[in-house]
Amino acid sequence: MSEMAIGTVRIRSPLGEFWRRFTRRRVALFAGMVILFLILAAILAPWIAPYDATTPDYANVLSGPSFTHLAGTDVFGRDIFSRIIWGGRVSLTVGFVSVALGCIAGMVLGLVSGFAGGFLDSLIMRFCDVLLAFPGILLAIAVVAVLGPGISNVVYAIAVFSMPVFARLVRGSTLALKQTVYVQAARSIGVRKLPLILYHILPGTLPGVIVYLSLRIGTSILTAAALSFIGLGAQPPSPEWGAMLSDGRSYLGVADHLTVFPGIAIFVTVLAFNLLGDGLRDALDQKLR
Amino acid sequence: MLAFILRRLAGTVLVLLTVSVFVFGFVRLLPGDPARLVAGPDATAEDVAAVRADLGLEGPVWRQYVRYIGQTLRGDLGRSAKTRQPVIAEIGARFMPTLWLTLVAMGWSTLFGLAVGVLSGVKRGRWEDQTAMVLAVSGVSFPSFWLGLLLIDLFSVRLGWLPTGGDDDWRSFVLPSITLGAGVAAVVARFTRSAFVEVAGEDYVRTARAKGVPERGVIWKHALRNALIPVVTMIGLEFGFLLGGSIVVETVFSWPGLGRLLVDSVSFRDYPVIQAEILLFSTEFVLINLVVDVLYAVVNPEIRLR
């Protein structure tokens, strides 16, 4: 409304309006930049990591932070700073891939469920109820118990428990969008089901999905780190933040840098995704919890 | 009301039955022959056959399922592959420590979260609110296992005030319950604040102010009471998630509870115990959801009439 002036009405595209609102939120913008930085560091790991992440150096065991080893070294003399940079690859990949898998599967289920209604809708929603009947990490542990420990199985595990969240969300928006005039209009001029879903309903569900994507990636990274911490995720010598924290447990009070730096890495990454998600939610004006 | 409860109960039974099918199918989804897997590579044919009978893997699948349900309802969950003890005894010994830990964590985090949330809502936009919300969003993002290690480092290793693990006396409850509850406190604070802020903008709150109700009365009698309705639901759900969180926290503090038993069982591939634990955790979770729904219907008649 404030955009109205006498004689002229400025109309922004939805994307432009979103961008204007989003960039006003300094914290979210900063969080977004932190994430970009982390992604860049993960991609460039082979070039920017000062040392190899897995080669032991027994002459430099458990040395504290210094100019040669910025975050110190671990029990095998491996440079912790380098391991954290490489570990970013693991954590970010797990976060993005698992949530992407869960999101795609959930969106398909949600669109079908909301659009078809009836028996299919009940069936899909009961299925989601069952998946949601397990606390997230428990479901992940169950999947790992069947498939065996390892980071790729953690990805599937997290995808499975992200799926019902997206399915419910997309189903909700689909139900609402089905009633809108433009979808009714498209239907009345004979647009077939698939194009109707893809071009008229799907885009409308995206704002909610985008917000949840960011929030879920944070949760997924945290869950993956937790699973690695309890020994069910990444296996040694793979540099994974949760597993690094677990390795450092025995040296509390003796060599705190073993746990402090991986802890900071997890915290900053998850915080950045959560803050970005909050900012996106406000900017997209989504009424989500 | 009764109709609502019955309808929800029927839904719960249906979900639980499906969960039981999942748990039942769990061992059967394993690649290879699960009996051989459990018995180990050196097992003789007789050993494998014994394990197969133990795991209930004989006969047609539907009969296996019926037998499994019958045994489960009678409390017979098979024997642990690791200790050869009945699973029900293994789990029974671990149940109370986890329940206590969860209750203590839930108690402090709820009270604390509510207090911080209301404070933030009342002082909206002021420094108290901003500090609390920065802490809350950090609390949501903070890895619980790292928090646990930091607390052990400070209070056990450096200061020597509290034990690093075990469940001997009240002192051993302090660090695990702080670790487990921190995330929930943060979520409760955030949620309470937004519920409070929303309610504070309602007409009846303005009316209360306009007719001269003192500010304290407006907050406690008019705003908070209504804000609490969604908060209660959310707290109930968080209780379920605490059960999941206990898996990680128990590992950090060597807590002799269900969570650590589950982690140990997965590492050992002790399938009977894993199956029973998954069934137990999800049953608890589903029952908590049921109670929350019913409570919600009690305080909010709109839901009942759906």
From residue A144, alpha-carbon distances to A156, A216, B22 in Å are 9, 19, 14
pLDDT > 90? residue A145: no
In tens, the pLDDT along A237-251 reads 888 898 888 888 888
Q: Give the pLDDT band of residue A265 (cuts 50, 70, 90).
A: very high
pLDDT of residue A289: 39
Q: Give the pLDDT band of residue A96 (cuts 50, 70, 90).
A: very high
pLDDT of residue A270: 93
Name which of A137, A232, A240 to mutate to probe chain B: the one with the most chain B Cβ atoms within 10 A of its Cβ: A137
In the predicted model, what is the mean pLDDT of residues A243-269? 87
- Contact list, A141 vs chain B (CB under 8 Å): 247, 262-263, 266
A133–B285 CB contact, under 8 Å: yes
More confident residue, B105 or A17: B105
What letters, b where the CB count within 10 A reaches 16 and e where it falls short, cover B183-200?
bbbbbbbbbbbbbbbebb
pLDDT of residue A99: 94
pLDDT > 50? residue A1: no
pLDDT of residue B171: 79
In tens, the pLDDT along A211-220 reads 888 889 998 9
Question: Within a domain: residue A270?
Answer: yes
A130–B19 CB contact, under 8 Å: yes
pLDDT of residue A198: 87
Distance CA A22, CA A18 (A): 6
B244–A263 CB contact, under 8 Å: no
Q: Which residues pair with A5 in a beta bridge?
A: A8
Question: Within a domain: residue A29?
Answer: no
A267–B138 CB contact, under 8 Å: yes
In the predicted model, what is the mean pLDDT of residues A256-279? 90
> From the CA of B23, how many Å to the nearest CA of chain A?
9
Residue A178's domain comprises 38-50+67-288
DSSP string for B51-119: HHHHTT--S-HHHHHHHHHHHHHTT---B-TTT-SBHHHHHHHHHHHHHHHHHHHHHHHHHHHHHHHHH
A137–B248 CB contact, under 8 Å: yes
> From the CA of A233, how many Å to the nearest CA of chain B?
11
B157–A252 CB contact, under 8 Å: yes
- Contact list, B22 vs chain A (CB under 8 Å): 130
Q: What percent of chain A has pLDDT over 90?
A: 18
Least CA distance to B238: which residue of chain A? Answer: A135
Q: Do the beta carbons of residue A147 and residue A179 sit within 8 Å?
A: no
Query: A-B interface: how many C-beta pairs under 8 angstroms?
Result: 127
pLDDT of residue B168: 72
- Contact list, A271 vs chain B (CB under 8 Å): 137-138, 141
Tokens of A214: 């960011």
CATH code assigned at A81: 1.10.3720.10
> From the CA of B142, how many Å to the nearest CA of chain A?
5
Q: Tell me the three state secondary structure of residue A9.
A: strand
**Nearest-CB residue to A230 (from B14, B141, B263):** B263
In the predicted model, what is the mean pLDDT of residues A156-166? 89
Cβ-based burial of B18 (10 A; exposed 0-12, middle 13-18, buried ≥19):
middle
Q: Do the beta carbons of residue A261 and residue A81 sit within 8 Å?
A: yes
pLDDT of residue B301: 65
Distance CA A18, CA B183 (A): 31
More confident residue, B294 or A276: A276
**Nearest-CB residue to A271 (from B11, B29, B138):** B138
pLDDT > 90? residue A104: yes
- Contact list, B281 vs chain A (CB under 8 Å): 134-135, 138
Q: Give the pLDDT band of residue A131 (cuts 50, 70, 90).
A: confident
Question: Within a domain: residue A95?
Answer: yes
**Nearest-CB residue to B15 (from A130, A245, A253):** A130
Q: Which residues pair with A79 in a beta bridge?
A: A73
A267–B143 CB contact, under 8 Å: yes
B282–A230 CB contact, under 8 Å: no
Name which of B266, B279, B285, B290 to mutate to probe chain A: the one with the most chain A Cβ atoms within 10 A of its Cβ: B266
pLDDT of residue A166: 92
B266–A232 CB contact, under 8 Å: yes
pLDDT > 90? residue A97: yes
pLDDT of residue B157: 78
Identify the residue whose tokens are 């699948």: B61
The structural domain count of chain A equals 1
**Nearest-CB residue to B143 (from A136, A222, A256):** A222
Low-confidence ranges of chain B (pLDDT < 50): 306
In tens, the pLDDT along A168-181 reads 889 988 888 888 88
DSSP state for residue A5 in the 8-state scheme: E
Alpha helices in B201-257 (DSSP H): 203-210, 215-217, 225-252
Question: Within a domain: residue A243?
Answer: yes
pLDDT > 90? residue A269: yes
pLDDT > 70? residue A4: no
A79-93, A153-167, B32-46, B111-125: which range is least confident on average?
B32-46
Q: Do the beta carbons of residue B198 and residue B227 sit within 8 Å?
A: yes
A245–B141 CB contact, under 8 Å: no
